[in-house]
Amino acid sequence: MLDKNNSLYFQNILEALKNEHLYRQLRLADKAFQPMEEYSRSTITDFSSNDYLGLSKNEYLIQKLKDLLPSAISQCSSRLISGNTSSIEYLETTLSKHRKTESSLVYPTGYMANLGVISCIAEKKAAVFSDELNHASIIDACRLSKATVYVFPHNNTIELERIILNSKQNMKIIITEGIFSMNGDFAKLDEIVRIAKRHNCILIVDDAHGDFVVGAQERKDYSGTPGLFDVEDEVDIHISSLSKGLGCFGGYVSCPELIRNYLINKSRSFIFSSSLPDLLCKLAEYSISVAKKGFLQEKLNDNINYFQETASKYNIPGLKIKKHSPIIPLVIGQEERTITISKKLEARGFYVHAIRYPTVKRYEGQLRISLSSEHTFEQISSLIENITLLLKQ
């Protein structure tokens, strides 16, 4: 048990967070949220989930989950000891084809993939150039690495190239998200690729929020943001998630075989973590087969377009909509007001999470609206109407 002085130390920090409207609490989502198809009877309609294609509630996948009766619940070991199986290697082969790379390596989570890949690729003599709005997992990975880290202004490719030119290190690594998780905008991958080639940089793209959601328009393969920009072959290392577009669980990296072998030998979050269970690997395979059909992405894109068309009639201040992106931030500003509007929306039947520091900058609190293929036009228009009313109060 903590003594009085130690307890007081932590209590004071928590009290300060409460006073600054930055205190966080866990909530029971399983009781408050109902499946979207039961909208007319539901308590809350969720506009905060990363389940962009609705696959976490897909009836076919739920039935497959029931049919997957594993001989063991988990491998209970790292893959280097006794946790490697044909199921996980088959999934990696599928992901490599999806990303059009030589190989892939599955991690237990997307966070651990970023941590494990970046921290071991970016060694002491390297320079890392990271977008200022990159995800916390990228920031943490950069901190863990022994490299010199340069943070460039969001999507400012002119400044990125200037910083690269002024750096002294021989190994140079550019890291960016594909779709930025909070802002919902796209990295300027076409420009970043040209800079990477000019200066012999390794290019790493974390595409957790674009994977299986967007892709090459003519192929409709939904291979992610590099496919949308037609630069798949120019990205050296793709990092992504199985828990966003696929509605499953886990993370992965797609890369040259040389890099895969390097990660197996050097990536600590891979070496010292238990393997992703076979059950989840097989379920991800089924989910990929559904996602690749493309009809869910078409529904999602219809919802994105409908949101944009409807919102434009209301001229909502602080709303930032990007074509093809399912993430729509509504910048409110003050943390207290952001929380208040979020709670009022919940009282009206809509869950839109209040995003605050340190996820975003201080006094730039926002409501992160996340669209799914399973939302209806009625739900979307009702959300927009309620937001408009609450912003006027």
Token pair belonging to 71: 């001989």
Domain with CATH 3.40.640.10 in the chain: 63-291
Average pLDDT over residues 200-219: 94
Please say if the pLDDT value at position 41 is more than 50. Answer: no
Average pLDDT score, the chain = 92
Residue-level pLDDT at 31: 47
How many CA within 13 A on the CB side of residue 111? 5
What is the side-by-side strand order in the sheet with 148-152? 103-107, 251-255, 237-241, 202-206, 171-177, 126-131, 148-152
Residue-level pLDDT at 35: 43
**Per residue in 255-298, pLDDT tens?**
999 999 999 999 999 999 999 999 999 999 999 999 999 999 99
Domain with CATH 3.90.1150.10 in the chain: 23-52+294-391
How many CA within 13 A on the CB side of residue 226? 26
Q: Give me the amino acid identity at 337.
A: R
| CATH for the 63-291 domain, from 3.40.1280.10, 3.40.190.10, 3.10.20.30, 3.40.640.10 | 3.40.640.10
Average pLDDT over residues 73-95: 92
Residue-level pLDDT at 34: 46
Q: What is the largest CA-CA distance in the chain?
A: 65
CA-based nearest residue to 212, from 380, 58, 378, 34: 58
CA-based nearest residue to 301, from 217, 381, 232: 217
Average pLDDT over residues 305-320: 92
Altogether, the residues listed in the chain come to a count of 393
Using an 8 Å Cβ cutoff, are 279 and 246 in contact?
no
Give me the phi and psi of 5, to 5 degrees please: -65, -40
Token pair belonging to 15: 């009290």
Query: Measured between alpha carbons, how far is 331 from 182 in angstroms, rounded to an integer?
Result: 11
Instruction: Report CA-CA distances (Å) from 362 to 21, 152, 184, 331.
Output: 11, 19, 19, 12
Query: In this structure, which topology does domain 23-52+294-391 adopt according to CATH?
Result: Aspartate Aminotransferase, domain 1 (3.90.1150)
What DSSP state is assigned to residue 250?
-
Residue-level pLDDT at 263: 97
What percent of the chain is modeled with pLDDT above 70? 96
CA end-to-end span of the chain, whole Å? 47
Sort strands 354-355 and 350-351 into parallel, antiparallel or unpaired: unpaired
Q: What DSSP string runs through 64-126?
A: HHHH---SSS---SBIIIII--HHHHHHHHHHHHHHTSSEEEEESSHHHHHHHHHHHHS-TTE
Query: Measured between alpha carbons, how far is 381 from 44 in angstroms, rounded to an integer?
Result: 15
Using an 8 Å Cβ cutoff, are 304 and 371 in contact?
yes
**Per residue in 315-343, pLDDT tens?**
898 898 888 999 999 999 899 999 999 99
Angle between helix 136-144 and helix 110-121 axes, rounded to 10 deg: 30
